[in-house]
Amino acid sequence: MTDLLPFLRLYRQHWLSLSLGLLLALVTLVAGMGLLSLSGWFLSAAAVAGMAVASRDTFNYMTPAGGVRFFSIVRTAGRWGERVVSHDATFRVLTRLRVWFWQKLSPLSTGALAGFRQADLLNRLVADIDAMDHVYLRLLTPIGAALLSTAGLVFFLSFFDGRLALILGAILLFGMLALPLVFYFAGRAPGRQLIAEKSNLRTRMVDYLDGQAELQMFAAAPQSLAELQEAEQALIRAQARMARVSGLANASVQLLSGWTLTLMLWLAGHGVGGAVPDPKTALMVFATLASFEALLPLAGAFQHLSTSLASARRLNEILQDARPPVWGSHTRRAEGGALQLSELHFAYPGNPQPVLHGCSLTLQAGEKLALLGQTGCGKSTLMGLLTREWTPQSGQILLAGIPLTDYSEEALRASLSVVSQRVHLFAATLRDNLTLAAPDASDARLTEVLQQVGLDALLRDEAGLDAWLGDGGRPLSGGERRRIGIARALLHDAPLWLLDEPTEGLDSRTERDIMALLMRLGSDRAILLISHRLTGLEQMDRIALMEQGQIRLCAPHQALLADDYYQSLYRRLAPA
């Protein structure tokens, strides 16, 4: 239960609406008990009164009939109000919970989230948080309403027969304690399996949709679809197991209700409060029948508690185990963008094989340096160290002469502009996608930057900056998406540009155009270009060859042509 504590604290922020929902649930239960109890007594009393002429003419039919109508109206209105208020309060809590969880998640670096896949994180953010509604709707509210309404009913029945009231109260208390406990343990394994299978299905679905190009290319789509369908069937089986537990819980409550009703009928049949059998016998029996309306949701509530606990545990894995990087106190951005990497050693968690061992490199302010190497040599890892997604096990990184770990997050972000091969565009307008880099930029500045990167054609559209780009910028070509990435870098105006294979996947002409654009627009900035291609490298001040986590050579292009390895590489990969 301790896994739920961080989430229960958020409920206090909406205590008023949640308490109102509990009150309306209590009013609904009390009205239901009053309706059924009064109806049973009224029907029996009216039948008895009708058997004698004297009592038939003097019996008050109107007051009990009015009471029945009153309870029915209150019950209907209370049920509607409880549904509206409780669900509104729950949705507000879930909204606050999702925002709170995102605020905890967003500062975490790639290293902190290394053990979590993106699809799994999405599932936790959506499905696991949605499971928290069970806590209030199926646990806190039913328990509170059941305890209070049962106590009130026993107190009311004690005025007629204390012994029968205590017997009914003891049976109801036993049901409130025993049945939830039994079905909590019965539903624990299916609940955990349900959460796991939901996560597995969502992860496989995202992988299947995102990887369509690769799956079709390698003819693996049928196999991936079969695995997806198997995950779906596994989820259906988990849901069927949970449904069987739910059915058994409801059947158990109904069985206990029937036995209790039979017992109370037998006991009250000899008279209530020591009197001869009269309409109060019907009142006692119908009150017993009505009391189980409060008990019915409890077995299911604790059955779903296992689901909520499993979801809370999965959320806590991120909140408790993942730690954001520790930032420094230096609040001014770097001047000039000079970099110095000294004897960097790094290995990924759980992997004893180091990716970088003794890597050293220097980049002067305003210098253009290309980091060249084959896939897997450690180039992208080095980029992750520079953006503080990872932290080296040893060695030092200096930015403008200051250790990278001394910078505050805002200062470091202001010092770097990253342009990668995958420029993410949101389902928003062109303006919205650009102002991510400079929220205060005017339309005139946005237009100027778009013209600088050669995207003035987008401005000829009737919508202009309000043009809708769609999810991922689907209307745009690959080159246009890269140009928007460069436009963001210009708007961000950082002294150091980190270019992580910005021309990957482009045709030769577009690749040359993008490289020329980067060199022209970044002429007054320090640039570290990470690539395994040779297009445009003649324009770089120096080229560093990286092999097996170390810098093998670092010199200008013409000087490196004297190296046999670089010369053979250049002849093989250089564009025609």
pLDDT at 321: 63
Say whether 148 sits in a helix, a strand or coil. helix
pLDDT at 80: 92
Say whether 468 sits in a helix, a strand or coil. strand
300/148 Cα distance (integer angstroms): 19
pLDDT at 574: 61
pLDDT at 144: 84
DSSP code string of 164-195: HHHHHHHHHHHHHHHHHHHHHHHHHHHHHHHH
Read off the tokens for 52. Answer: 């004698």
pLDDT at 36: 86
Q: Which domains does the chain have, with CATH numbers?
A: 2-321 (1.20.1560.10), 339-573 (3.40.50.300)
572/576 Cα distance (integer angstroms): 10
377/63 Cα distance (integer angstroms): 89
Which H/E stretch holds residue 208?
helix 162-210
Contact 345, 356 (CB under 8 A): yes
CB atoms within 10 A of CB 567: 12
Q: Which of 22, 44, 28, 267 is nearest to 157 (CA)?
A: 267
pLDDT at 237: 92
Residues in the chain: 576
Q: Max CA-CA distance within the chain? A: 125
Contact 288, 261 (CB under 8 A): yes
58/50 Cα distance (integer angstroms): 10
Per-residue model confidence as pLDDT tens for the chain (576 residues): 676 776 777 777 777 888 888 888 889 888 888 888 888 888 887 887 777 655 666 777 788 888 889 989 999 998 899 888 888 888 888 888 888 888 877 777 776 676 677 777 777 777 777 777 777 777 778 888 888 888 888 888 888 888 888 998 899 888 888 888 888 788 778 878 887 888 888 888 888 887 887 788 888 888 989 989 999 999 999 889 888 888 888 888 888 888 988 888 888 877 777 777 778 888 888 888 888 888 877 766 676 677 777 777 777 777 776 677 788 888 888 888 889 999 999 888 777 788 888 888 898 988 889 888 777 788 888 888 888 888 888 889 999 889 998 999 889 988 998 888 788 888 888 889 889 888 888 989 888 888 888 888 888 777 788 888 877 777 788 778 888 888 888 888 889 989 888 777 667 777 777 778 778 878 788 889 887 767 777 788 888 888 888 888 888 888 888 877 777 777 766 655
Which is it for strands 542-547 and 368-372: parallel, antiparallel or unpaired? parallel
Alpha helices, H only, 276-395? 279-316, 379-386
First to last CA, the chain: 66
Q: Which of 307, 199, 172 is nearest to 246 (CA)?
A: 307
Q: Which of 283, 257, 293 is nearest to 37 (CA)?
A: 283
